[in-house]
A and B are shown apart, each in its own frame.
Chain A
Amino acid sequence: MNLFSAFFYRRLVTITHNWVGELSISLLLPIGIYSTLGFGLSNSTPSLEYFPKLSWLIPGIILIISFAGALITIFNDIMKNKRITSLYGTLYASPSSLATSVFGITSSVLPEGIARAILGLIILEFIIGYAFSALGQILFLFIIIFSTLIGASIGLTLGILSKNSLSNQLVILLLLLGLGFCSGWFIPLEVFPESIQTILRILPTTVLGECSRAVLFGQIFPFSLMSIPAGTIGIFFLLNIFLFPIISTE
């Protein structure tokens, strides 16, 4: 846990030094995404009985905020520090195993991911004028943990493998947009041809989206499917342990 504590401390003081920017993004991002999607996609958004129409978009918006927030934070940090400050070399030379190093880095963004999700949820509930059940919101925060960890793990993998920060930022942007749409976070999967739907339904991000809607809107969902995102986190964890020496040793 010492590395989680070290990296969490580092994130916390970094956020504290840039609190104006961090807070502005946390407040404006949900409003910005909601406004854009609400105006653009209101016709393709499914209607829900007992719930405001655009509430269907809320789980997807919160998921993309936590997922993208973790991915971009870790990716930028790796790109900035892997060669310039040899920070990760310091980590490798410390009495820390590769597993605890990878765990420490990826999990350090978890608290801020949850905090952003809570803030986003409150703002969006205020905008639509409807509050989800307390139990649904608590369960949803557990799903946010999965989303943040997957984002952080992908950010770490991309950061380790990337040579050029600028060209990879474009890849990240396309990845986020692609995942947002192909995981049914912004539009229902039914708009895709059936053959593609079958593949998209087993994406870990799709499972997170479906599960989020199930807990917030009280729908039935086979929770055993959560083993897909859990397995994805596990696979990325092992992959990152394997890749980590690339940025930490010569």
Chain B
Amino acid sequence: MEASVSLKKIGKVLNGRSVLAGLSFGIERGSIMAIVGPNDSGKSALLRVISGFSKPEYGSIFIDGKDVHLRRLETAKHIGYMPQKINFDNDLTIFENFQFYGKIYNMEPKMINRRIALLSDQLGFRHFLNDFPFELSSGFQKKALLARTLLTDPEVLLLEEPTSSLDLRSQYLVWDFLQEMSGDKTIIYTTHSIREAERVHDRIVVMHHGHVALDGALDKLLENSGELFHFQIHFQSLEKEIYEKLSKITTVVSPSQVGQVFDFYARERKVFFDVMRLAIEEELIGYNADKVGLETLIMTSTEE
């Protein structure tokens, strides 16, 4: 498929620290990309740079082949950016905020009113249109913010944690609504919810220290992890010498000690029994064995 958004060696430095380190990739038109990663990994910086809110120190971003920063006036109307922080003007009601936003984008008054009615109905906040933003709960503010982003019917949606502070029902409502549109629109969103990223994506990007640590569809990522298993063995008391003895088993991957828990990965299930055989003389409290999921993939790929 044709790339809707392309990044070429994008680099961003904030306060002398590199928050995006030469990122290059393309995002297909009409696809949904989930960006996950620990705090300060560069997720928000990436969206802000694509949206034009923030200028990169080097590199280029293209929307439909047009450079976002060189042809800003042409590309800006195709982009809808929803920041993580609610940024309504508290002196205006929600309706007036929408009107102001629509006017900035040179929309016809009739079209603004039609879009406000449609979006507020679909996202269920029509009764709050004449309230001031600070009078609404954070969940309704978030829904209104999403609706404001959609007001101009942009082709590319950049959403920073679109469902944070929403209740479960609203999260489903929002994602059902967004997924209905995903064929026409390219959606790039950041989230801290692994479950959300697993459920809603065509592609997942795991970011770490401004780099892309993992990139692909969940099935592909898990397949590439080569049937990795995650084990945790809880000891009554995990002494240093036992930990070192167990860590030295050659088939044990990324061992670590978390309190009294010996945490490790392995390519095969039988490694667990090798470890247990050596630990059998110690007093054990319990154990946990999992096939690696996205959460573990993120943890391992973003390890310091």
Contacts and interface: CB of A to CB of B under 8 A. Distances in A.
- Whether both chains belong to one complex is answered with yes
Nearest to B133: A85
B101 A250 contact: no
B76 A86 contact: no
Contacts of A90: 87, 101, 104
A9 B100 contact: yes
Given A9-B100, A92-B52, A93-B52, A85 B89 contact: yes
Contacts of A5: 103
B81 A10 contact: no
Contact of B85 (A6, A86, A95, A250): A86
A4 to B, nearest CB: 9
Contact of A91 (B55, B77, B91, B104): B104
B53 A14 contact: no
Contacts of A96: 73, 76, 104
B53 A250 contact: yes
B55 A87 contact: no
Nearest to A8: B103
A250 B14 contact: yes
Contacts of A95: 72-74, 76-77, 105-106
B37 interface: no
A6 B104 contact: yes
28 contacts: A2-B105, A6-B100, A6-B104, A9-B99, A9-B103, A10-B89, A10-B92, A13-B92, A13-B96, A85-B87, A85-B89, A85-B90, A86-B53, A89-B53, A91-B104, A92-B53, A93-B53, A93-B76, A93-B79, A94-B76, A95-B72, A95-B74, A95-B77, A95-B106, A249-B52, A250-B14, A250-B48, A250-B55
A97 interface: yes
B100 A10 contact: yes
B54 interface: yes
Contacts of A89: 53
Contacts of B103: 2-3, 5-6, 9
Given A249-B54, A250-B48, A250-B55, A94 B105 contact: yes
A94 B104 CA distance: 7
Nearest to B19: A250
Interface in B113-151: none
Contacts of A94: 76-77, 104-105
Ordered nearest first, which 3 A-B pairs have the shortest CB separation? A6-B103, A250-B54, A95-B76
A3 B104 contact: yes
Q: Which of B76, B88, B93 has the most CB of A within 10 A?
A: B76
Contacts of A87: 87, 89
Nearest to A3: B104
Interface in A1-36: 2-3, 5-6, 9-10, 13-14, 17
Interface of B: 14, 48, 51-55, 72-74, 76-77, 79, 81, 83, 85, 87-93, 96, 99-101, 103-106
A198 interface: no
Interface string A69-106: 00000000000010001110111111111000000000
Contacts of A2: 103-106
B188 to A, nearest CB: 15
B91 A14 contact: yes
A93 B105 CA distance: 10
Contacts of B105: 2, 94-95
Contacts of B88: 85
B18 to A, nearest CB: 14
Contacts of B52: 92-93, 249
Given A93-B79, A94-B76, A249 B91 contact: no
Contacts of B51: 93
Interface in A156-199: none
Given A93-B53, A249-B53, A250-B53, 12 more contacts: A2-B104, A9-B100, A10-B100, A13-B91, A14-B91, A17-B92, A85-B90, A93-B52, A94-B76, A95-B72, A249-B55, A250-B48
A96 B88 CA distance: 19
A46 B258 CA distance: 86
A94 B93 CA distance: 21
Contacts of B54: 249-250
A95 B78 CA distance: 9
A95 B104 CA distance: 8
| Most interface-central of A9, A86, A90, A91 (chain B CB within 10 A) | A90
A95 B106 CA distance: 9
A229 B106 CA distance: 31
A93 B83 CA distance: 12
Contacts of A81: 89
B224 to A, nearest CB: 34
B78 to A, nearest CB: 9
